[in-house]
Amino acid sequence: MKTILITGATSGFGEAIARLFAQNTDWQLVLTGRRQQRLDALQDELGGSSKVTTCCFDITDRNAVESTLDNLPSQFSDIDVLVNNAGLALGLEPADQTNLDDWEKMVDTNIKGLMYCTHKLLPKMRKRGQGYIINIGSIAGNWPYPGGNVYCASKAFVKQFSLALRADLLGSGIRVSNIEPGNAETEFSNVRFKANEQRAEKVYQGTVALTAQDIADTVWWLVNTPQHVNVTTMEIMPTEQANGPLAIYRRDS
């Protein structure tokens, strides 16, 4: 039996990844998030406590992350795959008009939360001589856009951290991949626009976005590549999305 730990499993990519792996008898799941009710419902639906264990914590709380992961039920304590997925964007304002609390929350979640989980689980992977860390970065780490400011920067961190991990882990048997999705329809925009449904819906209007299932299928494929293969980076956009030209400011003539 293999064990996958998915952070942010209560919606979007994380939930779809959990559903996909739960269909397979080879896998047991550790699911994390802040919404206990959703975690309980997923546990019931995906096979009960013998197949799924849940950890309800705020990933920005270092002590909570460390003590919970230190005290996983023994059946779930050897993590084969860590999917660092929990994350969020808050706001789309120009840098000078943003709320500093939002910036801090993105750093605490997308960067520090990912660091806490990785740092806690890596030593055991190293000891076991195996493991797979799949980070969920973003095209935002490659292609900055107006209003992306700290969100883009946080995903650039994920990119570079993933590459640096590869360097540190050479010879350890541990694999590291960074998936960089583009526009995908999840609760992401509801969170970014703070429950402004209309604004969130507009992000996906008139275009075919990626689905959470697309990213789950990607994770499944990655995990099932042979042990000697390491896909370092995967940028995945909807067909109906592309990077734009550089912008030029023109004075009134």
Pattern of binders to ligand NDP over 39-68, x per CB under 6 A? Answer: -------------------xxx--------
Instruction: By CB under 6 A, name the binding residues for ligand 8X3.
Output: 138-140, 148, 182-183
* Dist CA 78 CA 90 (whole Å): 34
Torsion (CA) 122, 124, 125, 130 in degrees, nearest 10 = 170
Q: What are phi and psi of 115, to 5 degrees?
A: -65, -45
* Dist CA 57 CA 135 (whole Å): 19
Q: Based on CB atoms, which residue is closest to ligand NDP, 85 or 118?
A: 85
* Dist CA 243 CA 183 (whole Å): 12
Q: Smallest distance, Å, CB 84 to ligand NDP? A: 8
Q: Based on CB atoms, which residue is closest to ligand NDP, 34 or 128?
A: 34
Q: Based on CB atoms, which residue is closest to ligand NDP, 74 or 239?
A: 239
Q: Assess 148 for contact with ligand NDP (CB under 6 A).
A: no
Binder among 3, 10, 43, 162 for ligand NDP (CB under 6 A): 10
Q: Based on CB atoms, which residue is closest to ligand 8X3, 140 or 150?
A: 140
Tokens 């402004």, residue located = 196
Contact between residue 32 and residue 6 where contact means Cβ atoms under 8 Å apart? yes
Q: Assess 91 for contact with ligand NDP (CB under 6 A).
A: no
Tell me, yes or no, if 145 is annotated catalytic.
no
Neighbours of 247 (CB within 10 A): 8
Residues carrying an active site annotation: 151
